Structures are given as structure tokens and as C-alpha cells.
Amino acid sequence: MRGFIAPARANCQRPLWHFDIPNSMWSEKSPREVGYRYGFYDYATDDAGLETADSAFADLENTFPKVRNTLISCKFEGWKEDFLEFLLCYVQMIRARSLLFFERLEEEGKNLRALTIQEVSPDRKSVTVRSMTPEPLPREFIRNWTITEMRNEIQKGPAWLSSFDWAIRLCDSPSAPFVVSEVPFVAQGRYSEAADLFRDPDALLFFPLCWQACLIGSPRAFDIGTDRFGEADMVTIQKVYRDTAELFLLSPAKIGFDEAQVEAQRSKSSS
């Protein structure tokens, strides 16, 4: 989140501009005040041998700010040769730990069914089940399964993302910046599932690295790997994040949105 702080506001107590989606209101926030929920990645039970989910994020989280600062200092020269693999690993981690991905896994977990063992024989060679009809799984099991599947997704690495061509687009002013929401990784195309995006030659993947730069993926090869976005392109990508966000946007500056879009989002939130 610190990558979305305007240089002129770096010493402010609350340097980020936070747009509350449900209430369509801007306010000033510090990075510590935004984008977290206590216990969100905690297992439902403290079973021995279960590594905490946060430990799966630690290396990437600690390295990303250093990579981002290096890219900014060198004006993003050589990013593809030196840092693309790391950036895609980071994107995969953020995608897999996002609220949207977590909720989808929980829904899958609610549809799982299993036989419940009621008794194990003394010789431990047979069991008695409560019913021959598979039953929904306990809530605690679904939560633990969801967190484990999320971690497994991160451990797969960015292989599927590596199949896309990647470019970086830049902007010059924090008053007309790239913004970010509670779901930083956004896919635009005819299909919603990651595996199906390959089938859409016009699909685009977006991941803002900071207010100055956005990583963009496409099944098609880009003509230019690193370039600046014009004013119209910046307005478009700001609206993409405005339309896909449900909780908040973060920006180095207060930016305007089309009133029709704001009203549409208000109606969506109230429904």
C-alpha cells in the first residue's frame, strides 16, 4: 500500500486517500488502517503441525517493497529480465489470498460431502459410518480446507501467468495515478475463471505495482513492453478498478469518477 502514497504526502500521518465504495466517500488513511481483518487466515483449530498461513506470505511480502523501490529508482528499466518471475509469484500470492478467491473456495467447501466415521473397530481394520449418505462437512473443516487450498494455490507458483505476455504501463503524476482496490488482480474478458482466460485472445490482466506503474498481461504479444498511458487510458483503468471494487479504492490523490458509475455502484451496494 505504501506504493500508492504521493511523494508530497509521505510524511503525513494518514498519507493514503481511501475511497469507501458503499458510501462513495473519500477519507485519509494510514496503511495500517486499511485492508486487513484480524484472524482472516487463521485455522479454525490449533492442530499441531499446521504452519500459520501468514508464514506462507512472509518472503514475498518482505521482498516486494524492495523490488518496487528498485524498479522506481531505475525507472522500470530491465524489469522484465530481472524481476518478472518474482512479480508473477507475488501476483499469484495476492490473487490466492484475496477475499474474492477465499470466498469462492468457501463456497466450494460447502458443496463437499463425506461419510462420517462413527466408530473404529478394536483391530482398526474397519469402521462404522453414521450414514451411507455423504453429509456436508463441519464448518471448522471447511475453513481449514479453504486456507490449505489457498496455500496450495500459492505454492503452485505463477506457471499459468507465465503463459501470458506481460507489459508495464507507466504514468507521471500522482494526481492522475493508478489506483488499487481490495482485489488488486483484475481480469477483463469473456471468461471469469483463470483457466478459461487463455481462450479469449482479448483478455487483459491488470495488477498495479504502485501509483506509477501497472503490470498488464495478455494472451497476445505486446508491441511495446514498457510505455506510458495517455490520459484516456488512465481514466479507463481507474474506472475498471472503480467498477470491480466492492469495499475500497486506494489512491495517492482524490480522483473524480463518472457520476453515472457512482450511482450504479450505490444501487449495487444497496441491493
**Domain final residue pick, 158, 186, 210:** 158
Query: pLDDT class for 154, splitting at 50, 70, 90?
Result: confident
Are 153 and 183 in the same domain? no
- The answer to whether residues 98 and 169 belong to one domain is no
Which amino acid belongs to residue 204?
Answer: L
Beta strand segments in the chain, E: 16-20, 25-29, 113-114, 117-120, 127-129, 135-136, 165-170, 180-181, 186-188, 204-210, 213-218, 226-228, 248-251
CB 167 within 8 A of CB 226: yes
* pLDDT band with cut points at 50, 70 and 90 for residue 124: confident
- In this structure, the answer to whether residues 134 and 223 fall within a common structural domain is no
pLDDT at 166: 97
Please tell me whether residues 6 and 87 are part of one structural domain.
no
Same domain, 99 and 168: no
Q: Does the predicted model carry a pTM greater than 0.85?
A: no
Whether residues 126 and 104 fall in one domain: yes
Domain end among 142, 158, 174: 158
> CA–CA separation, 97 vs 262, rounded Å?
28
Domain count, the chain: 2
Q: What is the mean pLDDT of the chain?
A: 86
Are 110 and 171 contained in the same domain?
Answer: no
pLDDT for 169-194, tens place per residue? 999 999 999 999 998 999 888 766 66
Report whether pLDDT(83) > 90: yes
Domain enclosing residue 19, as ranges: 1-35+164-271
Over 50: is that where the pLDDT of 48 sits? no
Cell digits for 45? Answer: 483449530
Q: Looking at 158, 188, 218, which one is the last position of a domain?
A: 158
| 72 & 177 share domain | no
d(CA 257, CA 266): 13
Angle between helices 99-110 and 139-155 (to 10 degrees): 130
| Cβ contact 257:239 at 8 Å | yes
Same domain, 30 and 41: no
Same domain, 19 and 122: no
